[in-house]
Structure 1
């Protein structure tokens, strides 16, 4: 039994369907927003939107009791909070890490579609890049 089956056994179909629709939209726009973090004119809008996305995923996955997703979304949200106070664009190491994070959330989207268990979080995602160096 996979993640979709687990959710359907414990939550109303409409809640699950709404979550999956919103999740798909959020995952789809993650990568373009991450890439925009390297463009000064787009930095603030992109960092705020990414923060909102990860906050929403954290909240919704918490409600649906998907702990791996809650943990990673919380970790990323905390990192983005640090970046929100900066005026400088992010470095390549940070962009690469965030793209890898987005890939993990895309993998989870595939897990939902295929009704697999949620894939394990890659250990490398739990190591923050040096967000200070240019």
Structure 2
């Protein structure tokens, strides 16, 4: 049984469907916001929007008991909280790390679509980049 089947078996279809619709929109928007972190005039808006996206994923995945997604979203949310207090732009290492994080969430989106087991988190994503420029 894949992740989608597991969710459908344990939660109301409408809740799962709404989560997947919102999740797709959030994953699709991540990359642009991450790249915009390197633009001083877009930094504040992008970091705040990214924080909101990861906060929403964290909350929804906790409710749906999708533990790996919840833990990674919380981990990223904590780093974004630190970035909210920094001056723009961020380092290229941070942008690359966040793009890799975005790829992980996109992989999970594919896992939902294909009803696969949730892919394992890549260990390299747990290494926090130097947040200083």
TM class, shorter-chain normalised? over 0.9
Contact 2:47–2:84 at 8 Å: present in 1 too?
Answer: yes
Shift of residue 87, structure 1, vs aligned partner: 2.0
- Structure 2 distance, partners of 1:81, 1:98, is 14
The CA RMSD over aligned residues, in Å, is 0.4
Determine if contact 2:37/2:88 at 8 Å carries over to the other structure.
no
| TM-score (structure 1 length as normaliser) | 0.98
Which region of structure 1 is more displaced relative to structure 2, 83-92 or 25-34?
83-92
Tell me, what secondary structure is at the counterpart of 2:41?
A: helix
SS at match of 1:40: coil
2:58 aligned counterpart, secondary structure: helix
Distance 1:63 1:89 in 2: 34
Alignment partner of 1:41: what SS? coil
For 1:113, the equivalent position in structure 2 comes to 113
Equivalent-residue separation in structure 2 for 1:131 and 1:26 (angstroms): 23
Deviations 1:103-134 (A, max 9, x none): 000000000000001000000000100111x2
* Cα distance, 1:88 vs structure 2: 2.1
Q: Identify the residue that residue 127 of structure 1 maps to in structure 2.
A: 127
Give the TM-score normalised by the residue count of structure 2: 0.99
Q: Which string of whole-angstrom CA distances, capped at 9 and with x for unpartnered residues, describes residues 63-113 of structure 1? A: 000000000000000000000011221010000000000000000000000
Counterpart contact for 2:43–2:89, Cα < 8 Å:
yes
1:49 match = 49
Q: Figure out how many residues of one structure are paired with residues of the other and give that number.
A: 133
The equivalences for 1:1-134 within 5 A come to: 1-132=1-132, 134=133
Q: Secondary structure at the match of 2:120?
A: coil
